[in-house]
Chain A
Amino acid sequence: MKSAMRFFTLAACFLSPAMLRAAPPVDPRGVEFFEKHVRPVLVSKCQSCHGTKRQQGGLRLDSRADLLKGSDNGAVVVPGQPDKSLLVKALHYDGDVQMPPKGKLPDEAIVHLTEWVKMGAPWPEESVKTDATSLSVSEVRRTHWAFGPVKKPGVPAAKSPDWVKTPIDAFVLAGLDAKGLTPAPSADRRTLIRRVTLDLHGLPPTPEEVNAFENDPSPDAYARLIDRLLASPRYGERWGRHWLDVARYADSKGYVFTDERRYPFAYTYRDYVIRAFNEDLPYDQFVLQQLAADQLPLGEDKRPLAALGYLTLGRRFLNNIHDIIDDRIDVTMRGLQAMTVGCARCHDHKFDPIPQKDYYSLYGVFASSVEPKDLPLIGMPEKSAELAAFEKELAKRKAEVEKYREEHKEELAKRNRKFRDGLRALEKKVDQWQVTAPVAPPRAMVLIDKPTPETPHIFLRGNPRNVGPEVPRQFLEVVAGEKRQPFRQGSGRLELARAIADRNNPLTARVLVNRIWLHHFGAGLVRTPSDFGLRGDPPTHPGLLDWLAATFMDDGWSIKKLHRLILLSNTYQQSSSGDRGLLEMDPDNRLLAHMNRQRLDFEAMRDSLLCVAGRLDTTIGGRAVELTTAPFTTRRTVYGFIDRQNLPGLFRTFDFASPDASSPQRYATTVPQQALFLMNSPFVIEQARHFLQRPDVTAQTQDEAKINRMYQLAYGRPAEADEIALGIQFLAQARKSDPAKKEPTPLPAWEQYAQALLLSNEFAFVD
C-alpha cells in the first residue's frame, strides 16, 4: 500500500507540475501544528473510513496528495480558505454533509482543523523510516567497538616487566610506552591505605589501621588490606550508593498532586542493593533480579523481590504512564547497556542504530507489566503488640476508605471534586500509615506481568494519540542481531533480562567494568559511561576494557574479584603526582601516567566528618532518616531520606546525583555554598566539637600531643613540627580574644581549630 502511495505521489509530481508548485514549502510551525493537533484527529476519527482500508466517497485522508485530490464529488479542501472547504463545513455540521457521522468532533478539534486549513493545510513528507535503518544496524554491529563480541585479547608484552604486577599494568604501560611516558612511582603506604579505604568504604582509616599497615612487613599486606575492606559491611554501603546513582534512587515519587509522595518501601530496594554488593551477588544475577525477580525461582527468602525497585521507584510524572514507561526504558537501557534508547521515543535515533520501532518493542514489555495494588511482604517481624496495633490501625484506615467509597458512590460517580478529594484524603491516610509506622513490615516494590500482554504500536513522533504500525515485543536489533526472536513469555521482561545478563551480550560486562573502573580512578576507560553509542567516547584502552570484561565474566561476574584485580594493579597504586610536563601532554590523564586526585563526594564528606568526630552510627539498613534537620542523625549518608521533588539544598550544593534519571557520574563543582556549609552549619560545628571531645583526644594533656592526635585522626598522619607550631600560634591568638563569647553558643579556640582541620583540602581530597 505504501509503495502504491509513493507511486501516486511520484506520479503527481511528474504529471502535474502545477500541483507541485502549489504545495507550499512546509513551514516547521505548520508541521508542529499538524502533528500535534491534526494528524491525531485524522488517524483516530477519519481514517477508518477514509484511509488505507476504505475510501468512502472516494476520499482518503492519509496523505496531503489524497486530501487535495478530494472525493468523488470534487475538492474537499481549499488550502488557506476554510470558508470554501467542504471538509470544514462538514466538521461544523454546517450543511448536508456532516462528519464524522457518528457525532460532532470536540470543539477544540474543529478549531484546530479549521485553523490548519487556514494555514494552507501543511503536511510533512511521510518519513516513517521504520525499515530504513536496518542496513546500517548490521553494519554498525560489525564496525563499532561496543557492539562486537567480547573476546579476551592477548596481554601486551611489557618493556619494563618489573612494573607490571597484573595484566592491567601491561595494557596501561603499552599505552604509556607508545607516547614515551613512564608511570608515576608508587604511592607510599599511608597514602595508599587512605586512598583505598576511602575508595572502598567512603570513610578514612583509623590511625591504628594506618600504623598497622605501615608496619606490616609481609608482601601480601596490601592484598590482605583489600580483603579486609571488601569483607566489611561498610563496603556495600559505599558501592551500593554508586549503583543507586545509576538506579536514580529516591524515597519519593516527585510531584503527584495531593497524593502521599513518599514511597513507603523504597528503602527495601536500597537495602537489597547494599546487601547484593556485600554478598558479592554475581552481576548477571543482580541484573536478572532487578528486571524480573518476580519471575525467578526464589525459594524461601523473598527479599530479592525488592530488586524490582530498580524499575519502579522512578519519578511519577503526574502519573503519566507513557513517561513512567519511558523512565523504565531509560534506566534499563542506559543503566545496564549504556544505550540512549530514549532518543528513539519520537523518531529513529539520530546517531545510533536504534530505530523508533525498537523503542516501542521495549515499550511493549513495560506496558505489559504492572504494579500490583498490594505489594508482597518480604519479611515479617516477630508477632508483637506493636505489630498487632499497626495492623489494626491499617485495617481501620482501609475500612474507612471502603466505607467512604460506598457511602458516596453517587457523588464519586459524578466525579464531584469535593468527594473525590475526600476519598483521596482517606487513601492518603492509608499510605501515610505505611510510611510512618515504624513496625510496618517491609514490602517489595514489584512489577508483575499483566494477564494478557499488550501489543505495542509505534507512537508517531512519540505522541500516544498518533498510533502507527504494530511492533513485536523484542530486544534491540543492534545488540541481539538480525536473528532476534520476539519475546514469547508474558510481558517478555524475563527474556529481556536474560538477553542483557547474557555472556554474549557485548555491552553488559563492558558497561559494568567501566563503571567500576570509573569509581576507582575518577574517570572511566570510556568517559561517557552511560553512552557507548556512536557519539560516546571510544575507550582510552580498548584492549584493557575487553580484557577486564572477559575476565569479569570468566570470574563468574564477581564484582569483588574485579575490585581486587584493579586495586592490586600497579596502575592503581601510583602516586597522584604527575610531573608538570606530563600534565601538559596529557592534561586529562587519559593514559594513566599517575593516579587522579579525587575530592570526597557528598556522602564520603559527611560520613568522614562523623567518623572523625567518633560518632558514626553503623546501623545497617531500614527506613530512611532525615539528614538535614537537627538533632542531626549520625547514620551514614546512604540512609538519608531523598526527596526527589525538593531535594534539599545541601544535596544539590555538593553535587549529589540528580534522582530524576539514571546518573552515571557526578559533577564536581566548586561553589561558595559548599564552603558556607562547612564554615557555618550547625552540623559541621557539632562534629568539630565532638572531634575535640573524643576520649583519645582529651587524653592528650599536652597541646602538641593533642594536635598530633587530631592530625592522625583527620589525615592519617602525624603532624609535623611546623604544623604543630602553626596550631599553637593560632590557639594563642584565638584565646587572646577568646572568650569567643558569641551567645548562645561560643566556640572556644580549640573547637575553631578542630573545625579548620576538617575544612582543609587535605581532609577533602584523596591523593
Chain B
Amino acid sequence: MTNLPSHPLTRRDFLCRSGMGFGSLGLANLMASQGLLSAATGADRSTSPLAPKGPHFAPKAKRVIHLFMNGGPSHVDSFDPKPSLQKYAGKLLPRTNLRTERKTGAAFPSPFKFQRYGKSGIEVSELFANTARCIDDICVIRSMHADVPNHEPSLLLMNCGEARLIRPSMGSWLTYGLGSDNQNLPGFIAMCPGGYPIQETQNWQSAFLPGAYQGTYIDTRHTSVDKLIENIRNTSLSLAEQRRQLDLLRQLNERHQERRQQDAQLEARIQSFELAYRMQMDASDAFDVSREPKHIRDMYGPGTQARQILIARRLLEKGVRFVQVWHGAGQPWDNHDDIEVQHRRLAKECDQAIGALLVDLKQRGMLDDTLVIWGGEFGRTPTVELPSPGNNAGKVNGRDHNHWGFTMWLAGGGIKGGYVHGATDEFGFQAVEDKVHVHDLHATLLHLLGFDHERLTYRYAGRDFRLTDVYGHVVKELLG
C-alpha cells in the first residue's frame, strides 16, 4: 500500500532524475515552455511511466532495433576480412595468441568469400550478402572490444553496461528517458524464439527502475497472439461483451470519483482500462504479419527470423521505442566447432530478413530516425580452437570467444553510412585502431537518441546511476 502523492514516480521526479532537473514550482508552465512533454494528455501525463518525454537535445534517432546475434558471431568471417590469415593457415601466428576462454592454436583463415559492396566498397563476406547490399547505409565498427571472454558477463555488459551487478538495460534506460509513442503497446520488447538467451530476462531487466521499464519478452516461436502476450485476450467474452463490461466499470468508477476530490491516480487507473482494451486490438494487429502484403513478406523471406524481424518493423512503425531481436534461445552463434557449417546456417536464417529490414525501413522513410544495431556480445578468435578434454568431440574447426576485438554495425538513426570505423590488428585478434568499448557504444547510442549519457541518471541507493557507469565517450566519427 504505497501509492502516494510524492511517490518516486511523479513527473517531477522523472524529469529531475533524468538530468532535466528544475525545481518544483511552476512545473506545468516550465514543462510547457520547454516542450518536455509532447503528446501525453490528461491523466496519462501525470502518472503513466511510459508517457512520451523529450530528451536533452534534438535526437537523430527516435527508436532502436537491436539485432542480437547471441553467442558471438565471428568478425573475421563476416565484416572484418583478414587475408593475412591465409598466409599463416595452419601455422602459428607471428604473434602470441591472446588469452580467451579456451586454448586456441594455428591461424584459421575464413572459409567464406569476401567481396566489395556499394559505392563505399566495404568488404563483406558471403554470409551477409543481402545485408551487404545496403552497406552504404551501414557504419561498420571493426574495433569493438569488451572486458572478458565469457558469455554471461559480456551479455550483461552489452545490455546493461555492467558485467555482474544488477543494472537496468539499454531499453529500460531509453523508455525511462523517452517514454513510448504508443501507449497501447509495451515500450520495450525483447523477442527470442524458443526460450531465453543465456542470462535470460536479466538481459532486458529494469533492475532498480520501475517494472514498467522492463522489456516485455515475446517467444516468437509462437504465432498466435494469445501465446505472445500474457492476458491479451479474454477467452470468455467477445470484444463487444467486454466493451459493455468496461462501460459498466467506467460508470462505477466515475460514480466513485464524483464523490471524491480530483485525484490523478484514480483517473490514471480509469484510463488504463481503456488503454488495455485498445492494446488487445493493437497488439493483435502488430504481431500479425499476415497483414503485410505478399511482396513484403517475400522480401523478408521464410522462417522464424524473417517473421520476427518483420514483426519488429511493425512494432517500430507503431511507435514502440526499443525492440531487441535475439537470434534464438541459448547461444546459437557460439560455434566452437563446425563454424563453417554453423555460421552458414545461422546467417542464412537471418541475412535476407536483415537486408529486407534495411530496405523496408528506408522505403518507408523510417531509416533516418531508426537506429539499427547488429552484433553479438563479442566476436571470435582468428585462430582455431584446440580440443580440450570434454569439449569439441575431437573437432578442430571452430573458433573461441574473442572480446579483444570484434565487429558490430549500426545503420540509420543519424549514423554515417558506408563507413568503416577502427580496425583490428593484421589478424583480427585485437582492436588496435580507434578502439570502441561497449561503454562508448552506449554513450553514442544515447547521444543519437538525444541524451548526454552523463546526465541520463537515476538516483538509487545514494548514487546517481547511468547506463555508462563512470565510463563511455561518444564516438563522434560514427555520426553522420
Report yes or no: B276 in contact with A675, Cβ–Cβ below 8 A: yes
Report yes or no: A531 in contact with B276, Cβ–Cβ below 8 A: no
Chain A residues near B8 (CB-CB < 8 A):
665, 667
Chain B residues near A417 (CB-CB < 8 A):
388-391
Docked complex: A745-767 residues within 8 A CB-CB of B: 745-747, 752-753, 755-757, 759-762, 764-767
Report yes or no: A255 in contact with B211, Cβ–Cβ below 8 A: no
Report yes or no: B463 in contact with A340, Cβ–Cβ below 8 A: yes
Closest to A656 in B: B211
Report yes or no: A723 in contact with B255, Cβ–Cβ below 8 A: yes
Expressed in whole angstroms, the minimum distance between the Cβ of A435 and any Cβ of chain B is 19
B120 sits at the interface (CB 8 A): no
Chain B residues near A523 (CB-CB < 8 A):
4-7
A535 sits at the interface (CB 8 A): yes
Report yes or no: A318 in contact with B276, Cβ–Cβ below 8 A: no
A352 sits at the interface (CB 8 A): yes
A560 sits at the interface (CB 8 A): no
Docked complex: B231-288 residues within 8 A CB-CB of A: 231-238, 240-242, 244-246, 248-249, 251-253, 255-257, 260-263, 265-266, 268-273, 275-277, 279-280
B153 sits at the interface (CB 8 A): yes
Closest to B147 in A: A36
B42 sits at the interface (CB 8 A): no
Which of B55-63, B68-76, B196-204, B353-361 lies at the interface with chain A?
Answer: B196-204
Which of A121-129, A278-286, A587-595 lies at the interface with chain B?
Answer: A587-595
Expressed in whole angstroms, the minimum distance between the Cβ of A528 and any Cβ of chain B is 9
Which of A2-10, A374-382, A733-741 lies at the interface with chain B?
Answer: A733-741
A677 sits at the interface (CB 8 A): yes
Report yes or no: A198 in contact with B390, Cβ–Cβ below 8 A: no
Query: Which of B5, B200, B201, B246 has the most chain A CB within a 10 Å cutoff?
Result: B5
Chain B residues near A29 (CB-CB < 8 A):
473
B165 sits at the interface (CB 8 A): yes
Report yes or no: B272 in contact with A670, Cβ–Cβ below 8 A: yes
B2 sits at the interface (CB 8 A): yes
Expressed in whole angstroms, the minimum distance between the Cβ of B11 and any Cβ of chain A is 11
Report yes or no: B199 in contact with A255, Cβ–Cβ below 8 A: yes
Which of A66-74, A150-158, A499-507, A679-687 lies at the interface with chain B?
Answer: A679-687
Which of A104-112, A226-234, A399-407, A444-452 lies at the interface with chain B?
Answer: A104-112
Docked complex: A520-542 residues within 8 A CB-CB of B: 521-523, 527, 530-531, 533, 535-536
**Provided the pairs A411-B389, A535-B462, A676-B230 are in contact, do residues A318 and B153 lie with their beta carbons within 8 angstroms?**
yes
Chain A residues near B445 (CB-CB < 8 A):
none
Report yes or no: B47 in contact with A680, Cβ–Cβ below 8 A: no
Complex Cα–Cα for A578 and B8 (A): 21
Report yes or no: B211 in contact with A681, Cβ–Cβ below 8 A: no
Report yes or no: A667 in contact with B7, Cβ–Cβ below 8 A: yes
Docked complex: B392-431 residues within 8 A CB-CB of A: 430
B184 sits at the interface (CB 8 A): yes
Closest to A531 in B: B462
Which of A136-144, A418-426, A566-574 lies at the interface with chain B?
Answer: A418-426
- Indicate with 1 or 0, residue by residue over A717-745, a CB within 8 angstroms of chain B CB atoms: 00000110010001001100100101011
Report yes or no: A414 in contact with B49, Cβ–Cβ below 8 A: no
B329 sits at the interface (CB 8 A): no
Report yes or no: B9 in contact with A667, Cβ–Cβ below 8 A: yes
Docked complex: B5-22 residues within 8 A CB-CB of A: 5-9
Chain B residues near A661 (CB-CB < 8 A):
166, 208, 461
Report yes or no: B1 in contact with A414, Cβ–Cβ below 8 A: no
Closest to A198 in B: B1
Report yes or no: A199 in contact with B390, Cβ–Cβ below 8 A: no
In-complex Cβ contact of A418 among B217, B265, B389 (8 A): B389
B98 sits at the interface (CB 8 A): yes
B371 sits at the interface (CB 8 A): no
Docked complex: A328-374 residues within 8 A CB-CB of B: 330, 334, 340, 342-343, 349-352
Docked complex: A662-681 residues within 8 A CB-CB of B: 665-677, 679-681
Chain A residues near B50 (CB-CB < 8 A):
671
Task: Count chain B residues whose beta carbon lies closer than 8 angstroms to a beta carbon of A.
Answer: 90
A580 sits at the interface (CB 8 A): yes
In-complex Cβ contact of A672 among B208, B210, B275 (8 A): B275
**Provided the pairs A588-B5, A649-B216 are in contact, do residues A737 and B256 lie with their beta carbons within 8 angstroms?**
no
**Provided the pairs A330-B461, A598-B4 are in contact, do residues A740 and B248 lie with their beta carbons within 8 angstroms?**
no
In-complex Cβ contact of B462 among A340, A415, A726 (8 A): A340
Which of A264-272, A385-393, A599-607, A692-700 lies at the interface with chain B?
Answer: A599-607
Expressed in whole angstroms, the minimum distance between the Cβ of B256 and any Cβ of chain A is 5
Complex Cα–Cα for A351 and B186 (A): 37
B96 sits at the interface (CB 8 A): yes
Report yes or no: A323 in contact with B165, Cβ–Cβ below 8 A: yes
B164 sits at the interface (CB 8 A): yes
Closest to A530 in B: B461
B207 sits at the interface (CB 8 A): yes
Complex Cα–Cα for A604 and B208 (A): 22
Report yes or no: B47 in contact with A669, Cβ–Cβ below 8 A: yes
B92 sits at the interface (CB 8 A): no
- Indicate with 1 or 0, residue by residue over B446-478, a CB within 8 angstroms of chain A CB atoms: 000000000000010111000000010100000
Report yes or no: B211 in contact with A111, Cβ–Cβ below 8 A: no
A579 sits at the interface (CB 8 A): yes
Report yes or no: B462 in contact with A107, Cβ–Cβ below 8 A: no
Report yes or no: B272 in contact with A255, Cβ–Cβ below 8 A: no
Report yes or no: A527 in contact with B6, Cβ–Cβ below 8 A: yes
Complex Cα–Cα for A414 and B390 (A): 10
B342 sits at the interface (CB 8 A): no
Report yes or no: A676 in contact with B210, Cβ–Cβ below 8 A: no
Report yes or no: A655 in contact with B471, Cβ–Cβ below 8 A: no
In-complex Cβ contact of A757 among B5, B207, B252, B473 (8 A): B252
Chain B residues near A214 (CB-CB < 8 A):
none
Closest to B183 in A: A672
Complex Cα–Cα for A687 and B389 (A): 56
In-complex Cβ contact of A660 among B6, B166, B242 (8 A): B166
Complex Cα–Cα for A198 and B1 (A): 9
Report yes or no: B276 in contact with A676, Cβ–Cβ below 8 A: yes
Complex Cα–Cα for A680 and B236 (A): 8
B99 sits at the interface (CB 8 A): yes
Complex Cα–Cα for A579 and B272 (A): 26
Expressed in whole angstroms, the minimum distance between the Cβ of B415 and any Cβ of chain A is 22
A597 sits at the interface (CB 8 A): yes
Report yes or no: B261 in contact with A577, Cβ–Cβ below 8 A: yes
A186 sits at the interface (CB 8 A): no
A43 sits at the interface (CB 8 A): no
A160 sits at the interface (CB 8 A): no
Report yes or no: A679 in contact with B255, Cβ–Cβ below 8 A: no
Expressed in whole angstroms, the minimum distance between the Cβ of B124 and any Cβ of chain A is 29
Chain B residues near A762 (CB-CB < 8 A):
252-253, 256
Expressed in whole angstroms, the minimum distance between the Cβ of A156 and any Cβ of chain B is 24
Report yes or no: A522 in contact with B257, Cβ–Cβ below 8 A: no
**Provided the pairs A730-B248, A752-B245, A760-B253 are in contact, do residues A577 and B260 lie with their beta carbons within 8 angstroms?**
yes
Q: With contacts A107-B99, A764-B269 known, what are 17 further pairs, Cβ within 8 A? A: A318-B152, A342-B463, A418-B389, A518-B2, A527-B6, A531-B461, A578-B261, A597-B3, A655-B211, A661-B208, A666-B2, A667-B210, A671-B48, A679-B231, A742-B237, A745-B235, A747-B236
**Chain B residues with a Cβ under 8 A of chain A:** 1-9, 47-50, 96-99, 152-153, 164-166, 183-184, 186, 196, 199-202, 206-208, 210-212, 214, 216-217, 230-238, 240-242, 244-246, 248-249, 251-253, 255-257, 260-263, 265-266, 268-273, 275-277, 279-280, 388-391, 430, 459, 461-463, 471, 473
**9 interchain residue pairs of minimum CB distance:** A340-B462, A418-B390, A417-B390, A652-B211, A675-B276, A416-B389, A588-B6, A522-B4, A668-B3
**Chain A residues with a Cβ under 8 A of chain B:** 29, 32, 106-108, 110-111, 198-199, 202, 254-255, 257, 315, 317-318, 320, 323, 326, 330, 334, 340, 342-343, 349-352, 411, 414-421, 518-519, 521-523, 527, 530-531, 533, 535-536, 577-580, 583, 587-590, 596-601, 604, 645-647, 649-656, 658, 660-661, 665-677, 679-682, 685, 722-723, 726, 730, 733-734, 737, 740, 742, 744-747, 752-753, 755-757, 759-762, 764-767
